[in-house]
Amino acid sequence: MNVIARHAAALAFGALALQAVAGDFDGTRPFLCSVIDTNDCALGTPCIHGIAEDVNLPQFVKVDFKAKQISARGRTAPIQNSNRSNGMLMIQGEQDRRAFSLTVAEDTGAFVAAVAGDGEGFMVFGACTLY
How crowded is residue 4: how many other Cβ atoms within 10 Å of its Cβ?
Answer: 8
Tell me the pLDDT band of 55, cut-offs 50, 70 and 90.
confident
pLDDT of residue 56: 84
Cβ atoms of residues 122 and 40 within 8 Å: yes
pLDDT score for 8? 37
Q: Is it the case that residue 5 has pLDDT exceeding 70?
A: no
Q: Domain-by-domain residue ranges, the chain? A: 25-130
Q: What is the pLDDT averaged over residues 86-92?
A: 96
Predicted local confidence at residue 97, as pLDDT: 94
Quote the pLDDT of residue 124. 96
Closest CA to 92 of 109, 75, 74, 77: 77
Q: Report the percent of the chain where pLDDT is more than 70.
A: 82
Poorest-pLDDT segment among 1-5, 8-12, 70-74, 97-101: 8-12
Question: Distance (Å, rounded) from C-alpha 37 to C-alpha 110?
Answer: 12
- Assign 5 to helix, strand or coil: helix
d(CA 63, CA 128): 9
Provide CB contacts within 8 A for 29, sequence distance 6+.
65, 130
Q: How far apart are CA 124 and CA 131, in angstroms?
A: 21
The pTM for the full model equals 0.78
Confidence label for 71 from pLDDT (cuts 50, 70 and 90): very high
pLDDT at 109: 95
Q: Count Cβ atoms below 10 Å from residue 98 Cβ, excluding itself.
A: 15
